[in-house]
Amino acid sequence: MSISLIKSSFNIYVSGFGCCKQEIIASVGPVYDISRFGISIASYPEDADVLIIQGFLNRKYIKRLFEIYGAMKNPKWIVAYGRCAIENAFFESDDDLIKTFKEKINFDIYVPGCPPRPEAFIYAMLRLMEKT
Amino acid sequence: MLRVIKNFFINLGNIFRKPKTVLYPKEKILIHEGSRGLPRLKLNLDTLDIICNGCKDCERACPQQCITIRSGYEDNETVLDEFYINLGLCSFCGNCVEVCKNKAIDLSYRYQLAEYDIESLKIEKMDLVKQAEYSIRDFWTKL
Amino acid sequence: MTNEELKFNIEKHPINHAEDIEKEIDILFGNKIGAIYNFGKELLFDVSPDNLSEVLNILRNNPDLEFNVLAYIKKKPEKNLLLIGLLSYDKGITINIRVKNIIAERRIDYKSIIDSVKKYFKNAQYYSDRQYLKDTNRDAVILSQLPETLDTFDIYLSFEDNIINQAYLSNEISMFNQDILFKNSDINKIIAKINILSYKAAVFPELCFCLGIENLLSLKIPKRATYIRMLLCELFRISSHLSFIANTSLIIGNQNALNYTLTEKEKILNIIEIITGSRVIPNFIRIGGVKKDIDDSIIKMILKSLPGIFKNIRKIEDLFSSDIVILGKLKEIAYLNIKDARSFGLTGPNLRASGFRYDLRKDAGYLLYKDFSFTIPLGRYGDNLDRVIIRFKEIYQALKIINEIAKILPIGPVAKMMDHSAIVFEESPIISSVECPDGIFKLYIEIKPGSEIEIIPIGPVSNNMHACEQSLEGCNFDNLLTTISSFCIESPEMY
Ligand code: SF4
Ligand code: SF4
Contact of C296 with C429, CB cutoff 8 Å: no
Query: In CATH, what number does C3-127 get?
Result: 3.30.460
Residue C198: closest CA among C486, C493, C478: C493
* Subunit contact B113:A120, Cβ cutoff 8 A: yes
- For ligand 2, is residue B94 a contact (CB within 6 Å)? yes
- Considering just the CA atoms, what is the radius of gyration of chain B in Å? 22
- Name the interface residues of A facing C (CB cutoff 8 Å): 14-15, 17-19, 21-23, 25-26, 28-31, 41-44, 56, 58, 60-61, 64, 91-93, 114-115, 117
pLDDT category at C281 given cuts 50, 70, 90 is: confident
Range of the domain at A97: 10-124
Q: Relative to the CA of B107, which ligand 2 atom is closest?
A: 1
Ligand (nearest to CA of C181): 1
- Residue C445 pLDDT exceeds 50: yes
More confident residue, C406 or C150: C406
DSSP state, residue C49: T
* B95 interface with C at CB cutoff 8 Å: yes
* A111 interface with B at CB cutoff 8 Å: yes
C489 vs chain A: nearest CA distance in angstroms? 12
* Subunit contact C192:B93, Cβ cutoff 8 A: yes
Contact of B38 with B107, CB cutoff 8 Å: yes
Cα(B64)–Cα(B53) distance, rounded to whole angstroms?
Answer: 21
* Subunit contact B24:A2, Cβ cutoff 8 A: no
Residue A51: closest CA among A22, A35, A27, A74: A74
Contact of A46 with A77, CB cutoff 8 Å: no
pLDDT category at A3 given cuts 50, 70, 90 is: very low
What per-residue confidence (pLDDT) applies to C16? 67
The alpha-helical segments, DSSP class H, found in chain A are: 20-28, 59-71, 83-86, 96-104, 118-131
In a domain, B16, yes or no: no
A90 CA to centre of own chain: 16
What per-residue confidence (pLDDT) applies to A119? 85
How many beta-carbon contacts under 8 Å exist across A and B? Answer: 83
For the packed helices C255-276 and C223-252, what is the interaxial angle rounded to 10 degrees? 160
In CATH, what number is assigned to the domain containing residue A36? 3.40.50.12280
- Residue C256 pLDDT exceeds 60: yes
Greatest alpha-carbon span in chain C: 70
What per-residue confidence (pLDDT) applies to A91? 60
In a domain, A82, yes or no: yes
What per-residue confidence (pLDDT) applies to B120? 79
Ligand (nearest to CA of A87): 1
Which of B34, B61, B91 lies at the smallest CB-CB distance from C277? B34
Chain A residue closest to C143 (CA)? A64
Q: Residues of CATH 1.10.645.10 domain(s) within chain C?
A: 187-486
**Atom 8 of ligand 2, nearest CA residue:** B62
**Atom 5 of ligand 2, nearest CA residue:** B90
Q: Is the peptide bond before A115 cis (omega within 30 degrees of 0)?
A: yes
The alpha-helical segments, DSSP class H, found in C221-371 are: 223-252, 255-276, 296-322, 324-330, 338-343, 349-352, 360-363
> Which chains border C (3 or more CB–CB pairs < 8 Å)?
A, B
**Atom 2 of ligand 1, nearest CA residue:** A114
In a domain, B124, yes or no: yes
Q: Which residues of A touch B91 (CB under 8 A)?
A: 83, 113-114
Q: Which residues of C touch B95 (CB under 8 A)?
A: 188-189, 192, 283
Pocket of ligand 1 (CB under 6 A): A 18-20, 54-55, 82-84, 114-115; B 91; C 196, 199
* C189 interface with B at CB cutoff 8 Å: yes
Q: Write out the H or E segment, with its range, that includes residue B5.
A: helix B2-16
Chain A residue closest to B115 (CA)? A110
Residue C487: closest CA among C169, C255, C177, C207: C169
* A19 interface with B at CB cutoff 8 Å: no
- For ligand 2, is residue B39 a contact (CB within 6 Å)? yes
Q: Write out the H or E segment, with its range, that includes residue A80.
A: strand A77-81
- Residue A11 pLDDT exceeds 70: yes
Q: Which residues of A touch B89 (CB under 8 A)?
A: 83, 86-87, 89
Instruction: Supply φ then ψ for residue A32, to 5 degrees.
Output: -100, -35
Quote helix, strand, coil % in chain A, to nearest 5: 40, 20, 40
DSSP structure string for C255-278 = HHHHHHHHHHHHHHHHHHHHHHS-
Q: From ligand 1's centre to the CA of B9, what distance in Å?
A: 45
Mean pLDDT of C131-154: 76
- Residue B70 pLDDT exceeds 60: yes
**Atom 3 of ligand 2, nearest CA residue:** B90
DSSP state, residue B72: E
Which of A17, A91, A92 lies at the smallest CB-CB distance from C151? A17
Q: What's the domain count of chain B?
A: 1
**pLDDT tens readout for residues C411-420:** 877 777 776 6
C275 vs chain A: nearest CA distance in angstroms? 17
Would strands B67-74 and C81-88 be described as parallel, antiparallel, or unpaired?
Answer: unpaired
- Residue A74 pLDDT exceeds 60: yes
**pLDDT tens readout for residues C305-329:** 889 889 988 888 888 888 888 888 8
Q: Which residues of B touch C193 (CB under 8 A)?
A: 63-64
Which of A29, A91, A117 lies at the smallest CB-CB distance from C262? A29
Contact of A51 with A106, CB cutoff 8 Å: no
C-alpha separations of B82 from B49, B71, B79, B122 in Å: 14, 7, 10, 12
In a domain, B93, yes or no: yes
- Residue C176 pLDDT exceeds 50: yes
- Residue C12 pLDDT exceeds 70: no
Classify domain C187-486 at the CATH topology level.
Answer: Cytochrome-c3 Hydrogenase; chain B (1.10.645)
Cα(C236)–Cα(C277) distance, rounded to whole angstroms?
Answer: 14
Considering the entire predicted model, what is its pTM?
0.90
Burial of A33 (0-12, 13-18, 19+ CB in 10 A): buried
A96 vs chain C: nearest CA distance in angstroms? 17
To the nearest whole number, what is the mean pLDDT of chain C? 82
Provide, rounded to the nearest whole percent, the portion of chain C with pLDDT above 90.
0
C-alpha separations of C31 from C26, C27, C67, C341 in Å: 8, 9, 20, 35
In a domain, A24, yes or no: yes
Which amino acid is it at C229? R
B82 vs chain C: nearest CA distance in angstroms? 24
Instruction: Supply φ then ψ for residue B38, to 5 degrees.
Output: -70, 140
* Subunit contact C279:A31, Cβ cutoff 8 A: no
Mean pLDDT of C152-180: 82
Q: Which residues of B, range 96-115, sit inside 8 Å of C by Cβ?
A: 98-99
pLDDT category at C97 given cuts 50, 70, 90 is: confident
* B32 interface with C at CB cutoff 8 Å: yes
* Subunit contact A61:C259, Cβ cutoff 8 A: no
- For ligand 2, is residue B112 a contact (CB within 6 Å)? no
Mean pLDDT of C367-384: 84
To the nearest whole number, what is the mean pLDDT of chain B? 80
- Residue C2 pLDDT exceeds 70: no
Contact of B134 with B37, CB cutoff 8 Å: yes
In CATH, what number is assigned to the domain containing residue B59? 3.30.70.3270
pLDDT category at A4 given cuts 50, 70, 90 is: very low
Q: What's the domain count of chain A?
A: 1
What per-residue confidence (pLDDT) applies to B92? 85
Q: Which residues of B touch A130 (CB under 8 A)?
A: none
Contact of A85 with A54, CB cutoff 8 Å: yes
**pLDDT tens readout for residues A19-52:** 888 888 888 888 888 888 888 888 888 888 888 8
- For ligand 2, is residue B67 a contact (CB within 6 Å)? yes
Cβ-based neighbours of C467, under 8 Å, separated by 6 or more? C336, C340, C341, C344, C346, C350, C487
Q: Is the peptide bond before A75 cis (omega within 30 degrees of 0)?
A: yes
Cα(C163)–Cα(C166) distance, rounded to whole angstroms?
Answer: 9
B7 CA to centre of own chain: 45
For the packed helices C110-120 and C52-61, what is the interaxial angle rounded to 10 degrees? 20
How many beta-carbon contacts under 8 Å exist across B and C? Answer: 38
What per-residue confidence (pLDDT) applies to C7? 52
Q: From ligand 1's centre to the CA of B93, what distance in Å?
A: 12
**pLDDT tens readout for residues C212-240:** 888 888 888 888 888 888 888 889 999 98
* Subunit contact B23:A122, Cβ cutoff 8 A: no
DSSP state, residue C292: S
* C256 interface with B at CB cutoff 8 Å: no
- Residue C366 pLDDT exceeds 80: no
In a domain, A58, yes or no: yes
C-alpha separations of C254 from C250, C259, C342 in Å: 6, 9, 32
Mean pLDDT of C184-192: 81
In a domain, A53, yes or no: yes
Cα(C301)–Cα(C406) distance, rounded to whole angstroms?
Answer: 10
More confident residue, C237 or B124: C237
Q: Residues of CATH 3.30.460 domain(s) within chain C?
A: 3-127
* Subunit contact A31:C199, Cβ cutoff 8 A: no
What per-residue confidence (pLDDT) applies to A2? 42
**pLDDT tens readout for residues B1-53:** 888 888 888 888 888 777 777 777 777 777 777 788 888 888 888 887 788 88
Q: Relative to the CA of B39, which ligand 2 atom is closest?
A: 1
Residue C385: closest CA among C329, C342, C430: C329
What per-residue confidence (pLDDT) applies to A90? 62
- Residue A6 pLDDT exceeds 60: no
What per-residue confidence (pLDDT) applies to B132? 75
Which of B87, B90, B113 to mutate to test ligand 2, by most ligand atoms within 8 A of the CB atom? B90
Q: Which residues of A touch B92 (CB under 8 A)?
A: 113-114
Q: From ligand 1's centre to the CA of B140, what distance in Å?
A: 27
